[in-house]
Amino acid sequence: MSAQAAVAVAPLLDDEVLLTEEATQWRLVWRRFRRHRLGVAGISVIGAIALACALAPWIAPYTFDKPDTSNIMANPSGAHWLGTDELGRDVLSRLLYAGRVSLSVSLVATTLSIMIGIAVGSVAGYYGGVADTVLMRFTDIMLSLPSLPLLLIFSKALRDFGPVRQALGDNTSVVIIIAVLTIFGWMNVARLVYGSVLSLKAREFTEASRALGASSARIILTHLVPNSAAPIIVAATLGIGSRIIAEASLSFLGLGIVPPNPSWGSMLSGVQAYMFRNPWLAFYPGLTILVVVLAINFAGDALRDALDPRLKN
């Protein structure tokens, strides 16, 4: 009986079975992520919009800055699917070009914020002592600042500062907004990494690594940071959404991306002057922001569950 069973089991040990046994961490994450319909929908929407924006020079029906004075604030038509703006520029084309700016600004600002956050949090958590006190107090101070007033002040001051303007030329507004969003955006990640490193550095594998002679830098970079990846990835995803809104708010107030370069926010700045004549002008850019940020938030939420089911609230 038992000999028969052994014979029956043996053929099962083929490649297929082994493959499932060896499913990687990321494959498991992906499997859990797929179960979230809203998360998958979110990722698809972001992917489609990002792709369309990236391809804007090839697929946009017009350029973003070509005025058509005979066709100002036209209603949607076959020639202009979403109509034209106050200078006769095609709204759809501008939305696509604006997406390039809005998406890349928030992507770069988020990446930089996360790098700073990881550096500050891991050094403070790993070394403790003075490094901990100084860095984390500084983080607390930054967290308790009134952020929007300071974002506005920094944007304005840096923009009017001659040397910055000379050094950056046409890119001034883009670089400044990335800079201010980074300066005021790294603290949450720093706290996340700090907490995670504090608990990880007491674990056995860290001790084992140290016993084997690994340097502090190596322990931080190969053990502590990768093991904190789950909350960092979730924070990064959600952070892109909040930075899109922050960039749009600053640009709306005229202190972010400046015309003629369009961003989704700058397309809305000054729109109040036209809202009586053509309210739709104000509608599309904001709707785009809402859809993109909503998609990012759904994706981030699904990612949180997929990466670490325990994080679910």
Partner 1 sequence: MRTFLIRRLVQNILLLLIISVIVYGILYLVPGGPFDQLNFGAVSAAAAAAQVKRLNELLGLDKPLHERYLSWLGRALTGDWGMSWTVAFGQPVSRLIESRLGNTLLLMGLSAVFSFLIAMPIGILSAVRPYSVWDYVITGFSFFGLSMPTFWFGVMMLIVFSVTLGWFPAGGAITPGKANDLGDRVRHLVLPVLVLSLVQVAGQSRFIRSSMLETLKQDFVRTARAKGVPWFRVVMTHALRNAILPVITLLGLEVPQLFGGAIITETIFTWPGMGRLFFEGISKNDWPLVQAITMMSAFLVVAGNLLADLCYAAVDPRIRYE
Residues that bind partner 1 (CB under 8 A): 141, 144-150, 152-154, 156-158, 160-162, 241, 245, 248-249, 252-255, 265, 268, 271-272, 275-276, 279, 282-283, 285-286, 289-290, 293-294, 296-298, 301, 313
Which phi and psi (to 5°) does residue 90 adopt?
A: -70, 125
CB 184 within 8 A of CB 147: yes
Q: Is the Cβ of residue 67 or residue 283 nearer to partner 1 in the bound state?
A: 283
Work out how close the CB of 132 gets to partner 1 at its nearest, in angstroms, rounded to a whole number.
17
Q: Is the Cβ of residue 180 or residue 219 nearer to partner 1 in the bound state?
A: 180
CB 33 within 8 A of CB 302: yes
Work out how close the CB of 142 gets to partner 1 at its nearest, in angstroms, rounded to a whole number.
10
CB 97 within 8 A of CB 285: no
Work out how close the CB of 8 gets to partner 1 at its nearest, in angstroms, rounded to a whole number.
42
CB 125 within 8 A of CB 197: yes
Where does residue 176 rank: exposed (0-12), middle (13-18), buried (19+ CB within 10 A)? buried
Work out how close the CB of 157 gets to partner 1 at its nearest, in angstroms, rounded to a whole number.
5
Q: Is the Cβ of residue 113 or residue 297 nearer to partner 1 in the bound state?
A: 297
Q: Is the Cβ of residue 84 or residue 155 nearer to partner 1 in the bound state?
A: 155
CA distance 281 to 288: 12
Token pair, residue 216, equals: 């502090």
Work out how close the CB of 313 gets to partner 1 at its nearest, in angstroms, rounded to a whole number.
4
Please tell me whether residue 31 adopts helix, strand or coil conformation. Answer: helix
Q: Is the Cβ of residue 51 or residue 157 nearer to partner 1 in the bound state?
A: 157
